[in-house]
Structure 1
Amino acid sequence: MILELLGPEPDLLRGLSVAWRIAFYVMSLGAAGLSIFTVGFGHLQTPENATSCRRLTVILVGLGVVAGFLWLATQVVLASDGDLLDTEIWGIMLASRPGLSVIIAWVGLLALTLATRMGRSGSVVAVVGILATTASFTAVGHTTQHQPRTLLAAALVMHLVGVSFWAGSLWPLALASRQGGQDAARLVEAWAQAATWFVGGLVLAGALLAWLLVGSLETLVTTTYGWALMTKLALVGVLLAFAAWHRLRLTPALAADAPGAGRRLAVSIGWEIVVMVLVFWAVAEMTSTSPQGEG
């Protein structure tokens, strides 16, 4: 997105298209992540925090639907030389890979909304929504242009489920930590145990995707995509350092009811959220360029 605007011939509309695309990713994966948290750990939340998470899930769903529409709308404007109401181009767009991706994601987001209304009985619907939302991104992007297609798609879904789990958990964890107490400690500890598996899958799938898409060290260091990928990896390293700090120091302090432990953990998670936003920025730059270079 930023690279698009800083190019020799900056194109505001294309930059907006990338911006709406990444907003669509963030909102959709954020809603999926909150749903994962609710299914796995909602029973450990206070009623007030659980209600707040359901409310935020619905808000993110709404924003995701709007961002997806605006992404497609900018694509229509670009393809029709400025005619947003060109029905023929809209038909072509909705039948294209981006259109298919958005439609599948909308179905997943609708399922997530229904799950929030159903409460504990909506877990199966939530899982369907999570899988549909994350799988929608296999219809677009670099994984559609390389082989082996099935392996790339499976790795991408695994990676996005891990990303959703991590990103969507930060806000409810910060809420619980700020309140402190043994209930918050149990929630954070339970999440940390599950995170070992989710983050492990995220890293494994991400490494496989990078290897299959980039293919060589030369490509990694000589292309815009490679530099964006290395930036993302560096930021993920910072996130892993946060996770280790929380697991080894701040969570035990919270469990021991040390004075100020909850506040310190909540502040640290706040900084983790900032880094997570930067990770999504790096992803935006990756999606706007090719793993094989610009030529």
Structure 2
Amino acid sequence: MLSALASADLVTWLSICVKALVYATALIAMGSILSILMLRRLPAPEVQTLRRLSVFCAIGAALLSLLRLPLRASFLMGGTWQGATDPMMLTMVSESPLGSSIVLRLVGLALICAILLPARQGRPLAVFGVLVVAASFVFRGHALEEPRFLLAALISLHILGLAFWIGAFTPLYRLSGADTASVAGQVSHDFGRIAVWVVGALTLAGGVTLWLLTGNVLDAFFTSYGQFFAIKLGVFLGIIGFAAWNKLRLTPALLRQEPGASAHLRRSIQMESVLVALILVTTAILTTISAPEATNQIGSAAASGQTTETNRGGFL
């Protein structure tokens, strides 16, 4: 898998970058809604900030998701830019699992934008949009393998947990200013209480998913998928370390309004954000160069008389 990545062409790298940005913007949009819903002691200005942020990221995720269609079409035409505008290839891609996933995601992202409506109408629609966006990620990739429904549930749970975690970064970072340290401590306490269950859900979902996809957790680490999973696991453990420090040391310090606690929390959130970005990039690499549906699409392209070079981008 590393050799395939080393020989990847421009289209592959663009696909990885766009996919990572789709993950980031979609998760922030979802997580902002979940933070509004679950962090009950958020001040009103932070709720308004999260509402605007969720809409901004939802629009960004929608545009980036649409960009993935011509990139996939370009790959199927051997990495040529002509393929990005070829009507037949674009039709084929739009009718593939990727196309179905994007359509569902666009619906969910549009529903998330309903958060701008009055709370009584907007919040239920936005929360439903979050669930739809999470479901859109299980229409392709490893979620198409058996047992399909269990994998879909596990991956959706994983996405929702990660989204909440990422969504809390913005309000916690903003509230950790010198004049709002005690409020930041209260919100951080609420986040830490929920995060304990989120960590358990993420760990369970990730472990069971790895076992279902590989059959043996130990043997899995000798496979390309398992090695990338090990990288993600190592980074995740780093995030857990920061989270534990925040909960056990920084949150009590913020509640006591100790000098320097706010600055430490900000640095911790910055480091967690970097580690989360690394996880998203690793996931984008893994799912791009091992996308299961690519094989079927190449076969369909060949049957349609299209010219497709063999795995130039390292998608398989």
Fold in common (TM above 0.5)? yes
Residue 257 of structure 2: SS of its match in structure 1?
A: coil
Equivalent pair of 2:5/2:289 in contact (CA under 8 Å): no
Distance in 2 (CA, whole Å) between partners of 1:241 and 1:85 is 46
Q: Give the counterpart letter for 1:281 in structure 2.
A: V
Distance 2:223 2:10 in 1: 23
Q: CA deviation at 1:86?
A: 2.6
Query: What is the distance in 2 between the residues matched to 1:161 and 1:276?
Result: 14
Q: Could you tell me which residue of structure 2 aligns to residue 281 of structure 1?
A: 281
Work out the CA distance in 2 between the residues paired with 1:4 and 1:22: 18
Which residue of the partner structure matches residue 310 of structure 2? none
How many pairs were matched up?
Answer: 290
In the alignment, does 2:14 pair up with 1:16?
A: yes
In the other structure, the counterpart of 2:309 is: none
Alignment of 1:68-217 (within 5 A): 68-80=65-77, 82-119=82-119, 121-144=121-144, 146-178=145-177, 179-217=179-217
| Separation in 2, partners of 1:63, 1:79 | 25
Cα deviation, 1:107-129, whole Å, max 9, x if unaligned, reads 11111111233335422112201
With structure 1 as the length reference, what TM-score do the two structures score? 0.90
User: 1:169-224 deviations in whole A, cap 9, x for unaligned?
Assistant: 11221111225333222211111111122221111111111111122356523332
Mean alpha-carbon deviation: is it higher for 44-53 or for 184-193? 44-53
Q: Percent identity?
A: 31
Unaligned runs of 5+ in 2: 293-314
Paired letter, 2:31: G
Deviation at 1:98, TM superposition (A): 0.2
In structure 2, give the amino acid aligned to 1:45: L
Match 2:30 to one of 17, 29, 32:
32
Q: Which amino acid aligns with 1:56?
A: L
Asked if structure 1 preserves the Cα contact closer than 8 Å seen for 2:157 and 2:205, the reply is: yes
Range with greater deviation from structure 2 (187-196 or 130-139): 187-196
2:220 is matched with 220
Specify whether residues 138 and 291 from structure 1 end up closer, same or farther in structure 2 by C-alpha distance, changes over 3 A only: closer
Judge conservation of contact 1:143–1:149 (CA < 8 Å) in 2. yes
Distance 1:92 1:214, change over 3 A: same
Conserved 8 A contact 1:219-1:291: no
Give the stretch that moved more between structures: 132-141 or 182-191: 182-191
Question: Which one-letter code corresponds to 1:152 in the other structure?
Answer: L
**For residues 204 and 218 of structure 2, what CA distance do their matches in structure 1 show?**
22
Q: CA RMSD in A?
A: 2.3
What code does the residue aligned with 1:227 have?
Q
The answer for unaligned runs of 5 or more in structure 1 is: none
* Structure with the larger RCO, 1 or 2 (CA within 8 Å, 6+ apart): 2
Partner letter of residue 114 of structure 1? Answer: A
The answer to whether structure 1 residue 60 and structure 2 residue 57 are counterparts is: yes
